[in-house]
Amino acid sequence: MKVEIPKGHPRAESLRIREKLIEAFEAGVVARAGLIAHGRGEAFDYLLGEKTVQPAFEAVKAAAALLLTAEKPVISVNGNTAALAAEYVVALAEAVNAEIEVNLFYRTAQREEAIRNVLEKAGAKRVLGVGEEASARIPELGSERRRVDPRGILVADVVLVPLEDGDRTEALAKMGKKVIAVDLNPLSRTAQKAAITIVDNVVRAMPLLARTAEELKHEKKENLKQILQNFDNARNLGECIRLIKERLEELSGKGRFLELPKGENRDH
Ligand code: PTJ
């Protein structure tokens, strides 16, 4: 059932994103748990003010520098990322010369193929990790995410994992890979374990990352390395948490949330 979202609706953008995910769920791209994960992300996005915050801009710059200086960068794609940012995955892969690999927590052959189709429709020339191609295993990982492509994640030195589960971030880091995560929750295990965490919505972070990589593409290697040296993930995460705290303090101080006009609903 397609829902009409009124043009002037105060939360139209958020509702459009939800509809996109529901449609992708019905098309077999997004996992059922992907809808729950999105709700969790929405809550943190709300706390961050639903915009890219300054620390996220810095993390994006560092992520672009790391991808551009990598030997074998890979972008790992799950259902939610394919539904929300397929075209930017492709643009980023082109800008940094990365492989694109499907890697799912809830792995089924149908979902792998559906996600590959979405990526190919968005312009991807090669999509790894589908079916028998995911013949290698990440040690120490119980979930289906352990299955990886020997041409992709297995041999990658840098892996971008938008919307990840903490276990795999840890396992990839233990294998000596540098993990870049996009996660709205700065407290998640993924956020804490990644080398670079972009605390932002994939809907905003992926286009920004693709654009930033395009801009930095011709930058000298030593300048890119300098960007990386100046970046501190723990400090960046701390700043994100502080921004949430300050925002809550500001809002509670003004008492704005206690004074919604009659009949106005905060969520819809
Ligand atoms: O497609 P699959 O089978 O690989 O399954 C994907 C999900 C997302 C279901 C799976 O990876 C999962 O269960 O993830 P988690 O452990 O629920 O973690 C999802 C994290 O992503 C949470 O910390 C959310 O806050 C965050 N998140 C959700 N939506 C977004 C987001 N971060 C950035 N942008 C979003 N749109």
Residue-wise pLDDT tens digits, 107-138: 999 999 999 999 999 999 999 999 999 889 88
* Interval 168-178 mean pLDDT: 90
CB atoms within 10 A of CB 219: 15
199 Cα to the center of ligand 1, angstroms: 13
| Pocket test residue of 13, 163, 193 for ligand 1, highest count of atoms within 8 A of CB | 163
Identify the helix (H) or strand (E) that includes residue 143. Answer: none
Show Cβ contacts of residue 144 under 8 Å, excluding neighbours closer than 6 positions.
104, 105, 106, 107
Instruction: State residue 163's pLDDT score.
Output: 86
CA–CA dist 107, 152 (Å, integer): 17
138 Cα to the center of ligand 1, angstroms: 20
pLDDT bin (cut points 50, 70, 90) of residue 4 is confident
The pTM of this model reads 0.92
Question: In degrees rounded to 5, what are phi and psi of residue 198?
Answer: -100, 105
Identify the helix (H) or strand (E) that includes residue 21. Answer: helix 12-26
Inform me whether the pLDDT recorded for 154 exceeds 90: yes
Instruction: State residue 205's pLDDT score.
Output: 98
For the chain, the maximum distance between any two Cα atoms, rounded to a whole number of angstroms, is 59
Instruction: State residue 164's pLDDT score.
Output: 78
In the 8-state DSSP scheme, what is residue 177? -
Inform me whether the pLDDT recorded for 267 exceeds 60: no
Pocket of ligand 1 (CB under 6 A): 31, 33-34, 37-38, 40-41, 44, 78-80, 84, 104-106, 163, 165, 182-185, 188, 201-203
Q: Which atom of ligand 1 is nearest to the CA of 17?
A: 36
Residue located via tokens 């994006």: 60
- The region, left, alpha or beta by phi > 0 then psi within -120 to 50, assigned to residue 107 is beta
Instruction: State residue 260's pLDDT score.
Output: 53
* Interval 73-87 mean pLDDT: 98
pLDDT in tens, 179-223: 999 999 999 999 999 999 999 999 999 999 999 999 999 999 999
Q: Which atom of ligand 1 is nearest to the CA of 188?
A: 23
Instruction: State residue 8's pLDDT score.
Output: 73
Q: Which atom of ligand 1 is nearest to the CA of 82?
A: 1
Instruction: State residue 79's pLDDT score.
Output: 97
264 Cα to the center of ligand 1, angstroms: 30
Inform me whether the pLDDT recorded for 268 exceeds 70: no
29 Cα to the center of ligand 1, angstroms: 14
**pLDDT more than 90, % of the chain:** 76
Q: Which ranges of 49-150 would DSSP assign to H, the alpha helix?
A: 54-69, 79-96, 109-121
CA–CA dist 185, 240 (Å, integer): 9
How much is the mean pLDDT over the chain?
91
Q: Which atom of ligand 1 is nearest to the CA of 190?
A: 23
173 Cα to the center of ligand 1, angstroms: 19
Torsion sign over Cα 246, 14, 57, 33: positive
Cα–Cα–Cα angle for 35, 22, 5, rounded to 5 degrees = 120
* Interval 71-94 mean pLDDT: 98
Show Cβ contacts of residue 64 under 8 Å, excluding neighbours closer than 6 positions.
96, 209, 212, 213, 215, 216
* Interval 29-39 mean pLDDT: 96
165 Cα to the center of ligand 1, angstroms: 7
- List the residue whose alpha carbon is closest to atom 9 of ligand 1: 34
- List the residue whose alpha carbon is closest to atom 31 of ligand 1: 41
Domains in the chain: ranges and CATH: 54-238 (3.40.50.12640)
18 Cα to the center of ligand 1, angstroms: 14
Inform me whether the pLDDT recorded for 259 exceeds 70: no
